[in-house]
Structure 1
């Protein structure tokens, strides 16, 4: 197994002078060197051949002893020196101060095919940023992270990638719902891959401490290595950087809303400067279309990170990044101009995304009325978002409201909930939809084909992940393999896997891990 190592981050940015691995405040440093804790009996559960290829590794490499030892944290790869990032952040809207990689350890940067990647182990032991935690992760959360990152990639959503999932052979104590009932679970380690793991909170840390020297060092490094398209100098360089981060963050959120993904914990330390989805904790996909739904038990009362609020939270987080970068710019007006444009730009991108979901090639101004009335209708009674939009592609130009209704009615969790008024509203909406698609030049089959490329048939529903976790806990990884392969083709029919194109079963409605999740890992 051969990796082409580069260590730009550790070579060019300041390190913590102390290598004592105890929780503490780390000043004037971007990272701390730390060695993963050796697992007692590591074993490979799964590895992504595609991600391995991105790094210049073969599928055979993933089965080697070197792969097992390197990506379980058992040995340190030659020429590397693992480290944990230092950053701060706002958590649930409140300033939390220094946070950092509490259960993540960056192994190294690698270069392959003129692209750079950072390899990071999640769950490989404590770091100086672990605070009161142990730095480990459990099989339950590791399976969810491993599968979800790859599922998001194949859905076409910017994300970290998953290279490997391993058992550590150790037991880890966790209180799943933070209710005073801890229990031992199997320990596991995921190797995550991204251009970098630099976050909004990386800049917030130095700005909050008025450490302008390191704030500028980090910004210059980030632009040099990750935003080479920025050619401006001085203040304009940092404004261009902020504009790029704003643009990619906006596009990421639009993609989340397209498939009904809810991150669950959009703290500023969980926001990537690359506009990619990172830190898969208490996430979930909408089952029934509910703009107020959040999968995070910690957020149950205020629902700050609910599905419908994700665009507003993204903007709020960008305000915090703007505040952090302000000392490099010292002019609020251009930052405010970028932030002020966010909402209008988002509405434009959202409208375009929804028009694509509905199969509209010709874009009409009044489409927004049809879309707004649809999202209101979807919330009236429990309606499965994924099934509704997928089945809507089967509605034809010749259908009236009644025949179109029969095409989509499987999306309702309980058809008896549809009273006469709601039924009439659905028939009216579908009648209007039929009129609208008759304005399209494309044939029914052409429109269906286009719709099925943006409306997935298969997403990683929480109950599916939980079934996989239950089996894996017994040592059976066949369902994990099945789901991994299925999620690589989420827009394909895959008739042999039709059983997964189904509404959430009743048993999963209130089951821990299916409807309720915590940040516990």
Structure 2
């Protein structure tokens, strides 16, 4: 895999430190994404090359690589944490694929000047989770960093227990975060702050360059990031996805899902669900995520103030967040309900159903998929028994029946709507298979024994989350009782 120096490198050494990855002993292949490889224009037999294994493990550099670790700062759990940075990641360079230019990064490749006493390593458990989830969210249509491959090593790494090391090769158009801007703003390095804003506009938001003066261009950038972030959060909430650690240094300037740690697709629907075992206060609970994203955007706006014409300009950019989030979420909920044209009252209809699910902590993914299966027959006949699979997941059947009758009336009021179109719309919006914690845990335990077939099977199902794939009923089944005991922390 040939690379070229990253454009980020042109910003200068105030933004990064050059260093090489630290080799790992006895590396081996764990997982590989054909879809991500296609994005890079790689030959399909690339992962079976010994030289490629060495590069993906940090034991050698790909041709043209110019590795560096970037510096940034940020707010962690709402508190200013000061200087952070790529503590276990190295940007190797860029590669132009058939349709886009991608940054290629190793995660888990050893300590950097920004490791803050850490070992710079990633463990097999967390690496498999990131590999699977970044590709799974992409298949679900959610903006995300991508993962090309995972390699493992018997090298020991201490977390809550001794585990073995791994490296993820991950991809993104850019890994720049809100925290990059906060870093230079807090240090009063306004020339570097301006250079970073100009860089992001030139390479990732060229539409913002049309404004006549620098402050207007930066305000347009803030507005564009605000809109992308709002739309990303709407997708998370509609799918029941919990990020778990939405610090400002984990927020992508491109509106991507980034830094997979204690994430979770909820099993039982609970707006107060906390997926991060380290989150004692519940700051990053599922229902808090939209507000936290807005708070993080305020931190970004604060960092950009030296480049703007006052706080009013920043406030004007940020005011787009709430209406865009609400509209985007309602659009997705309408699709999950099979509704075509937006109408007054749609929000109340969706909210009533979500309240029913929350009251019983109903299996979120299974309920919505089950609702999709019976909608056509129910819409035609009006018999709630046609929704038997979804109805069986709830105990409040009378409340659900009353809701369902109002839903049927709403379905029939849509212009150009047919029962079959409603079902297809719902099936395209309500996945059958998502990366539940217990599914990830099972493939991790197998991989720890060098058994990778379960990982490959799950990966194949996650690549087609909306399809009725044969022999995948177990992957779409209710989570076992022991799944609730899986504790995922920031070290994950």
Q: Normalization by structure 1: what TM-score?
A: 0.91
Offset at 1:81? 2.1
Secondary structure of 1:496's aligned partner: coil
Matched, 1:63 2:48: yes
Which residue of 2 is the match for residue 436 of structure 1?
410
Q: Which residue of 2 aligns with 1:7?
A: 6
Please name the residue that 2:454 is paired with. 479
The yes-or-no answer on 1:501 pairing with 2:476 is yes
Are 1:136 and 2:121 an aligned pair?
yes
Alignment: residue pair count? 486
Alignment of 1:199-238 (within 5 A): 199-230=177-208, 231-232=210-211, 233-238=213-218
Native 8 Å contact 1:405 1:426 kept in 2: no
Alpha-carbon distance in 2 for matches of 1:266, 1:401? 44
Structure 1 distance, partners of 2:146, 2:207, is 23
Q: 1:363 maps to what in 2?
A: 342
- RMSD between aligned residues: 1.5
The CA distance in 1 between the partners of 2:276 and 2:383, in whole Å, is 38
2:148 to 163, 177, 194: 163
Unaligned ranges ≥5, structure 1: 16-28, 176-182, 413-417
After TM superposition, the structure 1 = structure 2 runs for residues 86-101 of structure 1, keeping only pairs within 5 Å, are: 86-101=71-86
Report if the CA contact (8 A) 2:31-2:151 is conserved.
Answer: yes
Cα deviation, 1:447-492, whole Å, max 9, x if unaligned, reads 1111100111110000000011111111111110001111110000
Q: Residue 404 of structure 1 contacts residue 430 of structure 1 at CA under 8 Å; is this kept in 2?
A: no
The answer as to 2:349 corresponding to 1:353 is no
CA shift, 1:147, in A, is 0.3
The offset of 1:497, in angstroms, is 0.7
Question: 1:49–1:62: 8 Å Cα contact kept in structure 2?
Answer: no
Shift of 1:371: 1.2
Which residue in 2 is equivalent to 1:245? 225
The question of 1:153 aligning with 2:152 is answered no
Question: How big is the shift at 1:307?
Answer: 1.1
Among 243, 247, 256, the residue aligned to 1:267: 247
Say which of 424, 442, 453 aligns to 2:398: 424
C-alpha deviation, 1:191, in angstroms: 0.4
1:438 aligns to what SS in structure 2? helix
Report deviation, 1:405: 5.0
Alignment partners' CA distance in 1, 2:389 and 2:438: 25
What residue in structure 1 maps to residue 433 of structure 2? 458
Partner of 2:356: 377
Post-superposition offset of 1:4:
4.5
Q: Which residue is equivalent to 1:467? A: 442
CA contact (8 A) 2:178 2:249 kept: yes
The equivalent position to 1:317 in structure 2, one of 266, 272, 296, is 296
Q: 1:298, 1:518 within 8 Å by CA — same for their partners in 2?
A: yes
By percentage of residues, which structure has more helix? Answer: 2
In 2, distance between residues paired with 1:402 and 1:359? 16
Rounded to whole Å, the distance in 2 between the matches of 1:405 and 1:57 is 46
Structure 1 counterpart of 2:385: 403
SS of the equivalent of 2:92 reads strand
Q: 1:117 to 1:202 in 2, by over 3 A?
A: same
Residues 303-332 of structure 1 show CA distances to partners (whole Å, capped at 9, x for unaligned) of 111111111111000000000011011311
Q: Which of 164, 182, 185 is equivalent to 1:186?
A: 164
Report what 1:78 is aligned to.
63
1:401 deviates by: 6.4
Task: Tell me the CA shift for residue 289 of structure 1.
Answer: 0.9
Aligned to 2:23: 38
C-alpha displacement of 1:351: 1.5
Q: How does 1:281-320 map to 2 (within 5 A)?
A: 281-299=261-279, 301-320=280-299
Give 1:362 deviation, angstroms: 2.5
* Distance in structure 2 (CA, Å) of the matches to 1:507 and 1:245: 39
Q: Does 1:197 align with 2:196?
A: no
Alpha-carbon distance in structure 1 between the residues aligned to 2:65 and 2:454? 35
Contact 1:387 1:410 in 2 (8 A): no
Q: Find 1:125's aligned residue among 103, 110, 120.
A: 110
What are the superposed Cα offsets for residues 177-201 of structure 1, whole Å, 9 maximum, x if unpaired?
A: xxxxxx2111111001001110000
**CA shift for structure 1 position 92:** 0.6
CA distance in 1, matches of 2:384, 2:7: 62
Of 302-311 and 220-229, deviating more is 220-229
> Partners in 2 of 1:409 and 1:373 — Cα distance?
15
Asked whether the equivalents of residues 4 and 94 of structure 2 are also in contact (C-alpha less than 8 Å), the reply is: yes
SS at match of 1:297: coil
1:54 equivalenced with 2:39 (yes/no): yes
Partner SS state of residue 198, structure 1? coil
The CA distance in 2 between the partners of 1:310 and 1:160, in whole Å, is 19
Q: Distance in 1 between matches of 2:427 and 2:222?
A: 34
Partner of 1:21: none
Verify the 8 A CA contact 1:208 1:324 in the aligned structure 2: yes
Contact residue 266 and residue 305 of structure 1 kept, 8 A: yes
